[in-house]
Chains A and B, each alone.
Chain A
Amino acid sequence: MFRNQYDTDVTTWSPAGRLFQVEYAMEAVKQGSAAIGLRSKTHVVLACVNKSNSELSSHQRKIFKVDDHIGVAIAGLTADGRVLSRYMRSECINYGYTYESPLPVGRLVVQLADKAQVCTQRSWKRPYGVGLLVAGLDESGAHLYYNCPSGNYFEYQAFAIGSRSQAAKTYLERKFENFTGSSRDELIKDALFAIRETLQGEKLTSTVCTVAVVGVGEAFNILDQATVQALINEFEISGEEGPTNESVAEEAGGESGGAATEEGGAATEQETAPMDI
């Protein structure tokens, strides 16, 4: 592997002003199977790709309900993700006990980011190796955040993390302007389409993906497999036979732009610290 003298310790700077251990932690997020999220004014949908280690084992859960109004999808080290979602659950419960009202999503996200940040500044710790898409609903509406191991967090209209997430991002970038006014079901449809993009030719079935929704009048819930399969069939997005006509036409139009951003992203990655990704 590539080695350099500044990457053995989380708290050691490189002369270029980078923290390599933190960047490696963010690499761990890219290794994990994909998770995506997108939101309208009233709903947020999370979806992820289920990968099992062997034919004989089941896959690991990647979407967790935190509270009635918040849920997360993770990519990276699942074990770290579980620990963080347990932390989030307890924060929500404590807030609910004290104030009898739901914890604002933005606050939970900041607390989570602060927790991750501490690990980038202590010699005896390691950064969390997990990226979290936090979906939630509060007084100010529906929110989607991305929390990363560096302690940074961002709010998104739509986002994708994990392996081959660039394909899903390209799909979402092409469509996100319509999401604000989308209905719940339209969001789920776009989520499934975006997930299919990350599969690269593999057939989309309800066994390889999980979908969850939270929105106005709907507590965070993970859709059961039968429901997801029914939606896949309804939208005809299994994808083995290639993109449907509709998306062929769109892809032709969006191809050049999508490819350009991908290359651009790779180019900038070389020069600057990807800390803020």
Chain B
Amino acid sequence: MSNPLILYLCLRMVSGVMVMDSLLSPEGDSQRTQYPYVTGTSVIGIKYKDGILMAADMGGSYGSTIRYKSVERLKQVGKHSLLGASGEISDFQEILKYLDELILHDNMWDDGNSLGPKEVHNYLTRVMYNRRNKFDPLWNSLVIGGVKNGQKYLGSVSMIGVHFEDDHVATGFGNHLARPILREEWKEDLSFEEGVKLLEKCMRNLLYRDRSAVNKLQIAKITEEGLTISQPYSLKTFWNFAAFQNPTVGAEGSW
């Protein structure tokens, strides 16, 4: 080993192995999801007198093409929680798989304890933040709502793990078009009917102005008694507003 030539060759071999390693390792040149493929648009959630209401349409866009028309984006999680998702649909399905496993293992304790909406929300935050730290985010914005022990809970997580709780939340375009309405009109003691009416007003606005929205939606309700997700239905629309018929009037371009 004292021979400088042998030492040099040994070092070359070692460094050679290292170079090979970084090129051939599965980490080295792997590509993460750089953009979403099939996406769902806004989800809106509100607290109301007895629990939580959530609304989402059923469109699935392949880029800007509205490719699917019956995507269920509101799902039950365990006994006390409701999850709504916008963004990459297959990533949402992956999240549902994680949650199924989570709830299964929680039930396997068989001890009367169960995860509530707050626990599910925090769990999802950890999952989303962990994936973004691997530079491989789950491309979704999530809304989690539920009721446990008389306590209403509504929160949201973004694809990079930003999370918060509020009385009303929305994802994507809903943040711009629905939340201003909710800030004006939401109140603590909305009845079920008033809540649904408010959500429909928001969804109608989104339908008019969000090109990815489709006129087929579901509304879900979760209370202490349990969870119900409505059958898909459509909203009444009126497209004969002057601004719709001649959108460029009074907004002349520079050319």
Main secondary structure on chain B at its contact with chain A?
Answer: loop
Can you list 16 A-B contacts with CB-CB less than 8 angstroms, sorted by A residue number?
Answer: A97-B126, A98-B123, A99-B115, A99-B122, A101-B116, A101-B119, A101-B122, A104-B111, A104-B113, A106-B111, A106-B113, A107-B113, A110-B111, A138-B113, A139-B149, A140-B112
* Interface residue from B109, B111, B118 paired with A101 (Cβ < 8 Å): B118
Give how many A residues have a beta carbon under 8 Å from the other chain's beta carbons. Answer: 12
Q: List A124-154 residues whose CB lies under 8 Å from chain B.
A: 138-140
- Give A103's nearest chain B residue, CB to CB: B113
Complexed CA–CA distance, A107 and B105 (Å): 12
Q: List B110-146 residues whose CB lies under 8 Å from chain A.
A: 111-113, 115-116, 118-119, 122-123, 126
Q: A234 contacts the other chain (Cβ, under 8 Å)? A: no
Contact B113 A100 (CB under 8 A): no
Q: List A62-116 residues whose CB lies under 8 Å from chain B.
A: 97-101, 104, 106-107, 110
* Interface residue from A100, A104, A138 paired with B122 (Cβ < 8 Å): A100
Query: Taking the nearest CB of chain B, how far is it from the CB of A100, in angstroms?
Result: 4
Complexed CA–CA distance, A100 and B122 (Å): 6
Contact B113 A140 (CB under 8 A): yes
| Shortest beta-carbon contacts, A-B, top 8 | A100-B122, A99-B119, A104-B113, A106-B111, A99-B122, A101-B119, A98-B126, A98-B123
Given contacts A106-B111, A140-B113, contact A100 B118 (CB under 8 A): yes
Query: Taking the nearest CB of chain A, how far is it from the CB of B79, in angstroms?
Result: 14
Complexed CA–CA distance, A101 and B116 (Å): 10
Which A residues are CB-close (under 8 A) to B118?
A: 99-101
Which A residues are CB-close (under 8 A) to B115?
A: 99
Contact B111 A107 (CB under 8 A): yes
Given contacts A101-B119, A104-B113, 19 further A-B contacts (CB under 8 A): A98-B122, A99-B115, A99-B118, A99-B122, A100-B118, A100-B119, A100-B122, A101-B118, A104-B111, A106-B113, A107-B109, A107-B111, A110-B109, A110-B111, A138-B113, A139-B113, A139-B149, A140-B112, A140-B113
